[in-house]
A and B are shown apart, each in its own frame.
Chain A
């Protein structure tokens, strides 16, 4: 498995898009955490008002910004294999498809978690820098670091896995990104408003976003339940994807 992981990480880290997307993410995080929340403090959030929940809310906001981007990196990671037909090398150098898919899953999960933690830490650092420029200090914080970073890790792993799942099923960059953009922002809120009402919080992206309490669909769902529902969606989705990955032609 180690050679596969080494190869998959090289794939992720030797293309420009990974760095471009990471840069855009960090730029947006910096703009939000440094400028709006830290320096200006005019957004009306707990972070800008410097309450005891400032850091907790900031982490949620920063994580929410970067999640979609990690998902796009995951889409490119998988969909490029089909777009540029490198999948034929991947599946002949290691002819066991399950092993290859597992290697890819582990790679994108590790990358997603590290990316998420980096994004959030960068957000916190930017926020503190903004506060310095504003000459403000934070009061004592209600912030359980382990819980917060654990949520971030699960949230980013989830988004990375969903991005890769869509790319593996659709095998097309545009299609997978379109689904990623439309489902959480348009289709799920519409379903919520028209049909499901509070139960819409149990829809895939709503549940995933509720891990960080960052969903536009709030509903009555706890973080733990959101985590379990998301895990169930990801597991079932990946079981179907795994089956199809074994059955379909590699092109």
Chain B
């Protein structure tokens, strides 16, 4: 388990990360969400000791610097283009392997895993963003670490690459009793990939829970019901003080289960034509949680052509 406690960091008067604490459980993928400038990258850097701030992060109760071979504990991808542009991809990885006391044979293995074997002798300066991300992932898994910390690993990947990455991350967390901590702006991807989620905004922790709980607790999660006698059901719900609104010839009802509506309608003799749960998407929840927490907010054009 990774345990981050009271992480804080400020740049001058600006508080980039403000007393954030959370845990990352093994066997699970934990997503890391937040608007641009929320402090996600800084938090990851603080966790790894790359930035000097306050707070502590332990990996299975020990600090990273207490491990003899940290490369076996955590693998990182914080920036896609973190390599010397004229040093070949293979040499880049061989340098990291040597530093981590990892045999050179592992370099060829990881190049094969990420699909860069054919370009291993090429200079990565001319790699596309997607290829650079793959090289970054190869670097992250080089030491077969227990934990992966990945910052926006899907950026620049094509749809096939994204699908591969999603499966890779899920398998990595499941198969090795490892854990993956991954930030991404692709919320639909995150919804498919992550078990838990940490949400921050303006450097503060907003949520640290499972995706299931997060979505079910959202105001966007509702029940849709279509009945033969709509006015009658409206009166019934109003009497029960249940909030609803008209939608698509039926009602969108919040704060009630399908079971309860079904029972109410049955007892009132109202024939039900359609009854379904409408879960909020992760995007709905994210926007709801981070409303007002955006560091940089865009505005719609007015009077534009």
When the two chains form the complex, which single residue of B48, B67, B85, B139 contacts A84, counting CB atoms closer than 8 Å?
B85
When the two chains form the complex, which single residue of A15, A88, A94, A249 contacts B78, counting CB atoms closer than 8 Å?
A88
Q: Is the CB of B79 within 8 A of A88?
A: yes
Residues of A close to B88: CB separation below 8 A: 14
Decide if the interface of chain B is mainly helix, strand, loop or mixed. Answer: loop
What is the CA–CA distance of A91 and B88 in the complex, to the nearest angstrom? 21
- A85 close to B (CB within 8 Å): yes
- B280 close to A (CB within 8 Å): no
Q: Is the CB of B70 within 8 A of A94?
A: yes
If A86-B82, A94-B99 touch, whether A15 touches B87 (CB-CB below 8 Å) is yes
- A45 close to B (CB within 8 Å): no
Residues of B close to A96: CB separation below 8 A: 65
What is the CA–CA distance of A11 and B96 in the complex, to the nearest angstrom? 10
Q: Is the CB of B50 within 8 A of A88?
A: yes
Decide if the interface of chain A is mainly helix, strand, loop or mixed. Answer: helix
Q: Is the CB of A10 within 8 A of B95?
A: yes
Please tell me the number of chain A residues within 8 Å of chain B, measured between CB atoms.
28
What is the CA–CA distance of A90 and B83 in the complex, to the nearest angstrom? 11
- A89 close to B (CB within 8 Å): yes
Render A65-106 as a binary contact track against B, CB cut-off 8 A, 1 for contact. 000000000000000100011101111111110000000000
Residues of A close to B49: CB separation below 8 A: 91-92, 95
Closest partner residue, chain A, to B101 (CB atom): A3
What is the CA–CA distance of A249 and B143 in the complex, to the nearest angstrom? 24
If A10-B94, A250-B50 touch, whether A93 touches B82 (CB-CB below 8 Å) is no
Residues of A close to B100: CB separation below 8 A: 3, 93-94
Residues of B close to A89: CB separation below 8 A: 76, 82, 96, 99, 139
When the two chains form the complex, which single residue of A3, A17, A86, A95 contacts B83, counting CB atoms closer than 8 Å?
A86
Residues of B close to A197: CB separation below 8 A: none
- B219 close to A (CB within 8 Å): no
- B64 close to A (CB within 8 Å): yes
When the two chains form the complex, which single residue of A14, A15, A247 contacts B52, counting CB atoms closer than 8 Å?
A247
What is the CA–CA distance of A80 and B84 in the complex, to the nearest angstrom? 7
If A84-B84, A91-B49 touch, whether A7 touches B99 (CB-CB below 8 Å) is yes
Closest partner residue, chain A, to B49 (CB atom): A95
What is the CA–CA distance of A95 and B96 in the complex, to the nearest angstrom? 13
When the two chains form the complex, which single residue of B74, B91, B98 contacts A3, counting CB atoms closer than 8 Å?
B98
When the two chains form the complex, which single residue of A10, A17, A84, A93 contacts B70, counting CB atoms closer than 8 Å?
A93
Q: Is the CB of A92 within 8 A of B64?
A: yes
Residues of A close to B101: CB separation below 8 A: 3
Give residues in B with beta carbon < 8 Å to A.
45, 48-52, 63-65, 67, 70-71, 74, 76, 78-79, 81-88, 91, 94-96, 98-101, 139, 143
Q: A95-B65, A95-B67 are in contact. List 16 more A-B contacts (CB 8 A).
A: A7-B98, A10-B95, A14-B88, A16-B86, A80-B84, A84-B85, A85-B81, A88-B78, A88-B82, A89-B76, A92-B71, A93-B99, A93-B143, A95-B49, A95-B64, A247-B52
User: 9 A-B pairs, CB-CB below 8 angstroms?
Assistant: A7-B96, A84-B83, A84-B85, A86-B83, A89-B82, A93-B100, A93-B143, A94-B70, A95-B48
